[in-house]
Amino acid sequence: MMDQGARDKTASGQEVSREDELNEARRAFMRNIAAASVISLGGGLTLFTVGGSQAQAKKPEEPLDPKKRWGMLIDTTKCSDGCQKCVDACKQENGWEAEPHSPHDVQWIRKVNVKDPATGFMMSLPVMCQHCANPPCVDVCPTGASMQRADGIVRVNMHICIGCRYCMMACPYKARSFVHEDIPEEKKRFHAPMGKGCVTSCDFCAHRVDAGKIPACAEACPEGAMLFGDLNDPNSALSKRLKGIPSYQIREDLGTDTGIRYTRLP
């Protein structure tokens, strides 16, 4: 269900007519890129998958649609322990690096391994900003820098972030990072600015979503286990799928109403 086919739909879930698409050879090539997720061209330059660009949910110059609420269903049954593809794709797309176990480095997404001590059951799942409908980080921010866009994406407006880190205290998911050091020019990515003294976190690849693409992690997942779409549109692939199966939120008890749902939680 959520294999390559899911990617042929626009982010808002409408089928793209096949006729409109480029020739078959190119499509095959796109798939390959999606599998590779990122193509290094040497010299530190990277080229990103062009695959999503056909799926125009929103044109770049249009304002975002407040009727939408972006969300994602992560099929944790397909998510394997050792796989880090979504994390690697995010690192590439958004230009962060993190030493394993470093408490200083920026982390937008991580894989968490969970074990039930009573039964020995184990599973692995990606955790990032959960794009809550009731985000505690937005409530606590004194300046309003921690913000929720009209389409549900939660992010930091770093232009008015004073670096107080109260949002990091408030986030139940450890999704936010503080930039502890200057980021050198060559490590910066144009579409994910971040810098010393401000807080940063997963923004659902807002720059991609605004141009009608899907987030880099979803595009990179080799199992197609991350289905991105509009939670408010009953016809989106995401909504249809969510209607058919049970899905769960991390710390649902907190009432944050996360935009990220999982098909199974430990």
74, containing H or E segment? strand 70-74
**64 close to 150: Cβ distance less than 8 angstroms:** yes
CA 167/CA 200 separation, integer angstroms: 10
Q: Which stretch binds ligand HEC (CB under 6 A): 24-32, 165-173, 186-194, 225-233?
A: 186-194
Tell me if 159 contacts ligand HEC by CB under 6 A: yes
**Which residue number, 73 or 198, has a Cβ lying nearer to ligand HEC?**
198
**Which residue number, 111 or 240, has a Cβ lying nearer to other proteins?**
111
CA 222/CA 190 separation, integer angstroms: 26
Window 60-99: contact mask with ligand HEC (x via CB under 6 A): ----------------------------------------
Residues 194-213 that bind ligand HEC (CB under 6 A): 194-195, 198, 206-207
Which residue type is seen at 205? Answer: C
- Nearest CA to 70 among 149, 141, 5, 176? 149
Q: Minimal distance in Å, beta carbon 161 to ligand HEC?
A: 6
How many beta carbons lie within 10 A of that of residue 45, not counting itself? 8
Token pair of 50 as six digits = 């062009």
- Cα of 14 vs its chain's centroid, Å: 20
**Which residue number, 64 or 265, has a Cβ lying nearer to ligand HEC?**
64
Q: Which stretch binds ligand HEC (CB under 6 A): 16-24, 114-122, 193-201, 229-237?
A: 193-201
Tell me if 191 contacts ligand HEC by CB under 6 A: yes
**Which residue number, 215 or 224, has a Cβ lying nearer to ligand HEC?**
215
Considering CB distances under 5 to 8 angstroms, the limit depending on partner class, which of other proteins, ligand HEC, none binds residue 234?
Answer: none
What values do phi and psi take at 49, rounded to 5?
-55, 135
**84 close to 98: Cβ distance less than 8 angstroms:** no
**Which residue number, 193 or 266, has a Cβ lying nearer to ligand HEC?**
193
Of these, 33, 39, 133, 158, which contacts ligand HEC (CB under 6 A)?
158
